[in-house]
Amino acid sequence: MTELKNDRLLRAIRRQPLDRTPIWFMRQAGRYLPEYRAIRAKAGDFITLMSTPELATEVTLQPLERYPLDAAILFSDILTIPDAMGLGLYFVEGEGPKFSRPLINEQACRNLATPNISDSLDYVFNAVASVKRELSGRVPLIGFCGSPWTLLTYMVEGGASKDYRATKQLIYDRPELAHEVLSKVCNALIDYLSNQIQAGADTVMIFDSWGGVLSNPAYQAFSLQPMQQVIAGVKANHPDTPITLFTKGGGQWLTDIAASGCDMVGLDWQTDIHLARQQIGDRVALQGNMDPTLLYAQPEVIRAEVGRILQGFGHGSGHVFNLGHGITPQVNPEHVGSMIEAVQQLSPQYHA
Amino acid sequence: MTELKNDRLLRAIRRQPLDRTPIWFMRQAGRYLPEYRAIRAKAGDFITLMSTPELATEVTLQPLERYPLDAAILFSDILTIPDAMGLGLYFVEGEGPKFSRPLINEQACRNLATPNISDSLDYVFNAVASVKRELSGRVPLIGFCGSPWTLLTYMVEGGASKDYRATKQLIYDRPELAHEVLSKVCNALIDYLSNQIQAGADTVMIFDSWGGVLSNPAYQAFSLQPMQQVIAGVKANHPDTPITLFTKGGGQWLTDIAASGCDMVGLDWQTDIHLARQQIGDRVALQGNMDPTLLYAQPEVIRAEVGRILQGFGHGSGHVFNLGHGITPQVNPEHVGSMIEAVQQLSPQYHA
């Protein structure tokens, strides 16, 4: 294994002393970059782009060519797992992801296959290995997956949803059947993250994009508990690899999230990082949490907001600067530069 | 003034002793009711329906004919105010509300008119008076408005939005201009709610549908502070009329919301009512908070969830049962009946 030249991310997650706060951001390899749009046009479609290791590698590295970021995150999609489980992922331009064989009834749930992850998702692990080679220790590589609950919503609804009606009917009316499906997804995710780590991912993150649409007891039972299972399973295989858990809209459940076994908690922008640190920051690291829409503001406003968030976390290691959700396509790449520069310039004082 | 025959709602808000927990629910006069769809079809369009006092009265009373509810809420729309301010409200079927003259630049913000509310929205106050007559004291009537921030998003975006980009650019880049517009909206809202109370509304509610998309400091400055201004203004005119404040997604800010001067705090379904009462329930009443999607579940599941929420609040007055957001159109009206029956049957034990 190549030694990391920049290990700020891993040191921050482990709350070890640092020179400054590290920064990467969600969807940093994405549509706001003209070079991304160019390769996306060349590839023709999103699935080709993410499932061709050379292309996924190039896209993963694009933001690192442009900005002095402290981490790379694999260019992929959370829906690779349901696809590998046989649901048939496809994309409709302007409508987002769809499944041709969603879990429309009990039989579909019972028949859900537990795939051989190493074989069916070898394109992902090949991409991880390829990115790792190209990085040659420059910065750490982040692997990821969707949370079991978040994946369940896509698997049951057959795509994105407004009110998650079918998935909620499943958990409310048939909790045992929901748990049966979630359990299969958990097993697949444990294999998936373990294989990503095996292939070279230095740390992994679980994206619970839709945990925030649940009531507290439903969140505990159908989102957090399965995530704990995934974390425990991955930790059994790779005890030293740090794991980040991010529930969008989970600000009210931070204490429970911090007790999940994860090493770092991702914060959305609605959560106050100062209060979050008071509540849980002595147990885990915190990642976040600038409003992505703030990147549409003027550079001096961006700089002030970066300063506010750094000050909110305060002194010491344990903070990874990030957005509170993925960057949006219309952002001016120069504004991203302002954010990164502000983190570099304003954060050393908190590590003195 | 006719004396109220059923004053459970007002007693609960004032945390006075009661026989059982009162219940009404957001959008109770709405599309899930076949009788609503019939009158809506007859009226032709939504604006005609809400702006014709006889039709608005009929629609307001429909759920009370069907269910033993403890309150009526005026059938209207939060966007009457921007419409009265000259923005030109219209609806596109399947796309929701739009404005023909949104606040697209500084000039539009500066030119924004402060309308004479009594004249321009007389159809609303006539509807309030008409509903009040028809109710003849059966249950209290709830008046309402949108929050200044929520209205601002529609006024700036020209309709519904996904990321509130233009409105956020306004508050981030031009905070003083945003406050100038918010201040005009606040003044209009104070007149609006005061006139509704004058016309017969027994209590009023402020719907802050989109406060939850803001960071903590932005919420404080651009949503909560203007709402406090509205509350103070209405209280100056009508000190004895209780006011409810509901920020969807505001579960992390309950302590601040409870200190706004309101009498009751609305809770979305992601907030745990037990923890909310521990935090703020000694200062204000609480309203909520069943997941509206739970109405798609089986009646016994609905009953169990009603029981869980009642138990979560616990003993004593100060709870108004409601959904955590508006009911959705595909709900079976019989399931609504199950929810109401469960509140009636399961709540008296908490008032013994």
At residue A142, the pLDDT reads 98
What DSSP assignment string belongs to B133-157? HHHTTSS-EEEEEE-HHHHHHHHHH
Number of neighbouring beta carbons within 10 Å of residue B273: 27
Provide the mean pLDDT of chain B.
Answer: 97
d(CA A285, CA A72): 18
- Taking only the tens place, the pLDDT of each residue in B309-346 is 999 999 999 999 999 999 999 999 999 999 999 999 99
Nearest chain A alpha carbon to B210? A270
At residue A94, the pLDDT reads 80
- Which band of pLDDT confidence, cut at 50, 70 and 90, is reported for residue A114? confident
Q: Is A111 on the interface with B (CB under 8 A)?
A: no
- Which band of pLDDT confidence, cut at 50, 70 and 90, is reported for residue B265? very high
B26 has a pLDDT exceeding 90:
yes
At residue B314, the pLDDT reads 98
Q: Is A269 on the interface with B (CB under 8 A)?
A: yes
- Taking only the tens place, the pLDDT of each residue in B269-284 is 999 999 999 999 889 9
Is residue A141 within 8 A of residue A131, CB to CB? The reply is yes
Q: Is B256 on the interface with A (CB under 8 A)?
A: no
Residue of A165, A218, A249 lying closest to B296 (CB–CB):
A165
Residue carrying the six token digits 């290791």: A53
Tokens of residue B172, six digits = 């981030």
Does residue B31 carry a catalytic annotation? yes
Consecutive H or E run containing A247: strand A243-247
At residue B121, the pLDDT reads 97
Tokens of residue A152, six digits = 């369940």
Q: Is B164 on the interface with A (CB under 8 A)?
A: yes
Nearest chain A alpha carbon to B211? A270
Candidates A86, A87, A80; CA nearest to A49 is A80
What DSSP assignment string belongs to A4-41? PS--HHHHHHTT---SS--B--TT-SSTTSHHHHHHHH
Query: At CA B30, angle to CA B347 and CA B243, rounded to 5?
Result: 60
At residue B249, the pLDDT reads 97
Which chain B residues are Cβ-neighbours of A268 within 8 angstroms?
A: none
Which chain B residues are Cβ-neighbours of A224 within 8 angstroms?
A: none
Q: Is A296 on the interface with B (CB under 8 A)?
A: yes
Mean pLDDT to the nearest integer, B254-262: 98
Active-site position among B154, B164, B192, B219:
B154
User: Judging by DSSP bridges, how do beta strands A96-99 and A89-92 pair with one another?
Assistant: antiparallel
Residue of A212, A272, A296 lying closest to B216 (CB–CB):
A272
Return the sign of the alpha-carbon dihedral for residues A107, A110, A111, A113. positive
Q: Is A278 on the interface with B (CB under 8 A)?
A: no
- Taking only the tens place, the pLDDT of each residue in B54-109 is 999 999 999 999 999 999 999 999 999 999 999 999 998 888 899 999 999 999 99
Residue B18's SS3 state is coil
Residue of B212, B269, B275 lying closest to A270 (CB–CB):
B212
Q: Do B165 and A294 touch (CB under 8 A)?
A: no
Does residue B27 carry a catalytic annotation? yes
Nearest chain B alpha carbon to A212? B270
Class of domain A7-350: alpha beta
Alpha carbon of B121: minimum distance to chain A alpha carbons (Å): 33
B143 has a pLDDT exceeding 70:
yes
- Which band of pLDDT confidence, cut at 50, 70 and 90, is reported for residue A282? confident
Alpha carbon of B68: minimum distance to chain A alpha carbons (Å): 26
Query: At CA B128, angle to CA B122 and CA B133, rounded to 5?
Result: 125
Q: Do B172 and A297 touch (CB under 8 A)?
A: yes
Does residue A40 carry a catalytic annotation? yes
Does residue B296 carry a catalytic annotation? no
Q: What percent of chain A has pLDDT over 90?
A: 95
Q: How far is CA B307 from the centre of its chain?
A: 24
Q: Do A164 and B293 touch (CB under 8 A)?
A: yes
Residue of A219, A270, A301 lying closest to B215 (CB–CB):
A270
A168 has a pLDDT exceeding 60:
yes
Candidates B252, B255, B302, B322, partner chain A, best to mutate (most A CBs within 10 A): B252
Is residue B113 within 8 A of residue B85, CB to CB? The reply is yes
Which chain B residues are Cβ-neighbours of A269 within 8 angstroms?
A: 215
Nearest chain A alpha carbon to B267? A215
Which chain B residues are Cβ-neighbours of A308 within 8 angstroms?
A: 217
Q: Is B172 on the interface with A (CB under 8 A)?
A: yes
At residue B138, the pLDDT reads 98
Which chain B residues are Cβ-neighbours of A213 within 8 angstroms?
A: 270
Q: Is A252 on the interface with B (CB under 8 A)?
A: yes
Domain boundaries, chain B: 7-350
Number of neighbouring beta carbons within 10 Å of residue A257: 26
- Taking only the tens place, the pLDDT of each residue in B54-67 is 999 999 999 999 99
Q: Do B272 and A252 touch (CB under 8 A)?
A: yes
At residue B281, the pLDDT reads 87
Q: Show Cβ contacts of residue B29 under 8 Å, excluding neighbours closer than 6 positions.
A: B36, B59, B60, B61, B62, B63, B73, B75
Q: Is B299 on the interface with A (CB under 8 A)?
A: no
Q: Is A304 on the interface with B (CB under 8 A)?
A: no
The ipTM assigned to this model is 0.95
d(CA A314, CA A351): 9
At residue B1, the pLDDT reads 58
Q: Is A90 on the interface with B (CB under 8 A)?
A: no
At residue B84, the pLDDT reads 97
d(CA B146, CA B148): 7
Q: Is A165 on the interface with B (CB under 8 A)?
A: yes
A1 has a pLDDT exceeding 70:
no
At residue A109, the pLDDT reads 97
- A vs B, Cβ pairs < 8 A, gives 97
Mean pLDDT to the nearest integer, A95-121: 94
Residue A120's SS3 state is helix
- Taking only the tens place, the pLDDT of each residue in A200-224 is 999 999 999 999 999 999 999 999 9
- Taking only the tens place, the pLDDT of each residue in A174-194 is 999 999 999 999 999 999 999
Could you tell me the pTM of the whole model?
0.96
Candidates A195, A273, A266, A207; CA nearest to A234 is A195
Q: Do A173 and B270 touch (CB under 8 A)?
A: no
Residue of B164, B251, B294 lying closest to A252 (CB–CB):
B251
d(CA A14, CA A22): 13
Q: Do A297 and B163 touch (CB under 8 A)?
A: no
At residue B94, the pLDDT reads 80
